[in-house]
Structure 1
Amino acid sequence: MTARSIKQLIPSRQVSDGAGVKIQRSLGLTQQLRLDPFLMLDCFGSDQASDYLAGFPAHPHRGFETVTYMLHGHMLHEDHMGNKGHLKSGGVQWMTAGRGIIHSEMPQQESGLMQGFQLWLNLPAAEKMKDAAYVDIAPEDIPVLQLDAGHQVKVIAGQFRSEQHQLDGAIRGLSTDPQYYDLHLVAGQSLHIELPEDYQALVYPYEQAVTILHGDTSSKVPMHQAAVLTAGSTLQVQADQDSKLLVLAGKPIGEPVAQYGPFVMNTSEEIEQAIRDYQTGTLTGDKPLQSIQI
């Protein structure tokens, strides 16, 4: 059993996306700040309507998956096939762009707090041109585990494992086997998590800092910084105050990445083809979106 430690800290930086939505971006700030298979991690959160009301009008994607996790608020997804999905507090939308999708994500509130995350998850070359798909996961369909020490774990994807507990998430069976947990930690208590040793992994505290314990040493992860972890089969995390954080892990794809905005392929030639397909209206092909079965 090898404990993971911190390899790199990536502070988030405020950027704007969509029609001017203010977000905190850590992973994906530059093309060098990726963690195969993860391409980007955005945290959005504001109670100022002017920071989010413009939303994300219709835009394309190809070659990867987007995972939107809404902590607070209400967004509406609409796509080129006429599908609609309401993403509300505590819910998740898992969308596979595949060969192409054109969609919008627009706020359905005019005031109040809107907070959540969007993760971009890469697809291997063999899957980049498959049919697009998406699923809306209601809050009540996300498994939650209450631990003896008072900690809480929401398992969005993968399989959570600790010394005494195991719980399957809402999404499983993908080729990159993503592990996506939302942990709520109690002050002064630590938590041991088991992770596949050869998977890339990171933690992202979004309420208060946390500490990674590694043998006799410890390293603090400030709030809104992504801590890329070393290889290992276990992670021990502790909170000095009640804290909330994401834990992400996934099987590396190990292929070249070529990206131009919302298109993520393996070569520059494939990117040029994606741009041509979008310009000529053939990005999405002629097949309808398929629903993923949970």
Structure 2
Amino acid sequence: MTVVRPRRSVLYMPGSNARALDKARGLPADGLIFDMEDAVAPDAKEVARETIGTEMARGGYGRREIFIRINGLSTIWGSDDLAAAVAARPDAVLVPKVSSEADLVRIEEAMAGLGADPAIRVWAMIETPLAILNLKEIAASSTRAGSRLQGFVLGLNDLAKETGAQFVDDRAPMVPWISLSLAAARAYGLGILDGVFNDIYDDEGYAAECRQGREFGLDGKTLIHPRQIEVANQAFVPSVEEIEWAKTVVAVFQQPENADKSAVKIEGRMVERLHAEMAERTLALAGAIEELDRLALAG
């Protein structure tokens, strides 16, 4: 069975706020981003590094995926941030404003120089116009020997700032960026997370954007407040109907008489083997989500 890691809800947490990082241990988010960048004031960067290191050493985050977002290496904080992140041993380092393969090579070389655990992956923030123009190059970097690239996180706020695009209900100005980023990520087997929704009290608008993100095919959504977790967790999960259909498709293709068939008829529909592969992923995702939720309920 395909191995899939749920990333329905990935919550940004200010790295300088020890209370927030402690509270995160009890939140039902699939992932947490301990932030050293935008959520931390310049005079609190060192505090953020120390706080994240302390809380990571304490542990207690269970099966939540932990990302640490650093400042870019071109900033005065980047090198110290990366050293602190590597020492904390998260699941991944989240790198802002990746605009070319060269940006990833620089990060990976720096991580190698720090003796980073090979298991620590890299996720790239896609948040500059140049990144959109270089999406194929950036995604293809994952095929390079020694690459740590595992996924993209959309930074639509920064893209809007750089282009002058406006946020509207259906995100029409952002659709090309989302679609191209998704295509590049999937072409090279990478994960991809939607950008944040800025108005934490616009429940209707937020729910609609989560639905749209799932319709695009994104893995989940990055969040800025704990109250957004539940809606994302509900949006980025296969429905009961999808799960039942996936079970049917997998079962039919597993029958001996269908072992060599590229397509079969199921309940009046022609279903190809690629749909069986999609069904297997749906079941793997549903199973992984069920396990995560079970562990969350168990404490």
Do both proteins adopt the same fold according to a TM-score greater than 0.5, normalized to the shorter chain?
no
By percentage of residues, which structure has more helix?
2
Higher alpha-carbon Rg: 2
- Could you tell me the TM-score, scaled by structure 1's length? 0.33
With the length of structure 2 as denominator, give the TM-score of the two structures: 0.32
